[in-house]
């Protein structure tokens, strides 16, 4: 394949692109791949998770502040970015997909499927990615916007290539491969935990490993491991750009960089759909396309 390679990563909120697959994106940008982040919502109802930023003026202008953070992260990663324009659903305490806890009427999660998928179909036809990456069927974790992001990506992946659907958005384009992020499995957490203990350091993952219910662990579903450890520092810089969401002295940065790069040098994915032959396991999201 001699044409320009293009990767689209579909995320729910500003900051998700920096905590999931950011090093992979930075690696591909350096290799000349055209990378676009599609951000479904503006994160308007997100909390200020970095207590150092928890001030009244931040809450009054959270939407524009988070947009500015996204701009800085985009520049650090070297990617393009597009907003799909939906409103953050928030995460009410105790909410699950089958609960009766109400979400705001104007939110992304409650948008009809064809309405919610439409801007992503348009974007896929405009950008023409060969590879699309998003969350698994549980959203990676049960946040309404993450689950909805999965749903609309599955819809748009098929609909963008169908000439009879969304005709107003121009010529159809069928991406060749669809992946789910799979970078927070038990095996990775265990490897990082044991690397910390081997160095005589306190592991930030001890409670997580001991107390989380791992019956839903999806580690065995990983098909594709992209070695991108060289770009972990870029990922961390992009994370820190989301200052309302990420404490630079917090959980994300407690494992020394050298240990991370040695203990688990990859970001991991599940190949869900492919229109090209690709031998598993893979080490490249563009396997079968180069």
Residue 115, in any domain of the structure: yes
Rounded to an integer, what distance in angstroms lies between the CA atom of residue 183 and that of residue 268?
5
What CATH number is associated with residue 179? 3.40.50.10320
Annotation-wise, does 242 bind a ligand? no
Residue 13 labelled as part of a binding site: yes
Torsion, CA 62, CA 67, CA 71, CA 76, rounded to 10: 50
Determine the Cα–Cα distance for residues 58 and 124; give it in Å rounded to an integer: 34
The answer to whether 160 and 124 have CB atoms below 8 angstroms apart is yes
Look at the chain and report how many structural domains it folds into.
1
Asked whether 214 and 168 are in contact (CB, 8 A), the reply is no
Length of the chain as a residue count: 290
Residue 127 lies in a domain: yes
End-to-end CA distance of the chain: 5
Is residue 279 domain-resident? no
Residue 113 domain flag: yes
Residues 184, 140 contacting (CB under 8 angstroms): yes
Residue 227 lies in a domain: yes
- Residue 203 falls within a domain, yes or no? no
Structure tokens at 100: 């009766």
Q: Which domain holds residue 147?
A: 6-185+218-274
Q: What is the pTM of this model?
A: 0.95
CB 39 within 8 A of CB 11: yes
pLDDT per residue, tens digit, the chain (290 aa), is 568 999 999 999 999 999 999 999 999 999 999 999 999 999 999 888 778 777 776 767 888 999 999 999 999 999 999 999 999 999 999 999 989 999 999 999 999 999 999 999 999 999 999 999 999 999 988 899 999 999 999 999 999 999 999 999 999 999 999 999 998 889 999 999 999 999 999 999 999 899 888 888 899 999 999 999 999 999 999 999 999 899 988 888 999 999 999 999 999 999 999 999 989 999 999 999 98
- Max CA-CA distance within the chain? 61
| 181, part of any domain | yes
Q: Whole-angstrom Cα distance, residue 106 to residue 15?
A: 22
58: in domain: yes
């Amino acid at each position: 394949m001699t044409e320009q390679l293009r990767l689209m990563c579909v995320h729910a909120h500003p900051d998700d692109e920096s905590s999931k697959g950011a090093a992979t994106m930075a690696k591909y940008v350096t290799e000349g791949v055209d990378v676009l982040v599609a951000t479904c919502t503006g994160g308007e109802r997100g909390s200020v998770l970095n207590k150092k930023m928890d001030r009244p003026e931040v809450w009054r202008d959270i939407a524009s502040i988070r947009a500015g953070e996204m701009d800085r992260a985009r520049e650090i990663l070297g990617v393009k970015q597009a907003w799909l324009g939906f409103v953050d659903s928030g995460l009410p305490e105790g909410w699950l997909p089958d609960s009766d806890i109400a979400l705001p009427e104007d939110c992304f999660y409650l948008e009809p499927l064809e309405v919610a998928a439409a801007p992503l179909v348009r974007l896929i036809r405009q950008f023409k990615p060969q590879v699309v990456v998003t969350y698994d069927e549980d959203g990676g974790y049960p946040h309404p916007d993450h689950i909805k992001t999965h749903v609309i990506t599955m819809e748009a992946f098929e609909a963008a290539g169908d000439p009879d659907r969304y005709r107003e958005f121009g010529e159809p384009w069928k991406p060749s491969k669809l992946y789910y992020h799979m970078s927070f499995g038990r095996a990775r957490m265990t490897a990082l935990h044991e690397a910390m203990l081997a160095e005589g350091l306190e592991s930030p993952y001890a409670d997580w490993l001991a107390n989380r219910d791992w019956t839903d662990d999806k580690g065995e579903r990983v098909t594709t491991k992209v070695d991108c450890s060289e770009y972990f520092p870029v990922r961390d810089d992009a994370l820190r750009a989301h200052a309302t969401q990420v404490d630079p002295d917090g959980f994300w940065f407690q494992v020394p960089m050298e240990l991370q790069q040695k203990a688990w040098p990859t970001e991991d994915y599940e190949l869900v759909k492919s229109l090209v032959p690709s031998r598993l396991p893979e080490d490249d999201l563009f396997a079968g396309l180069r």
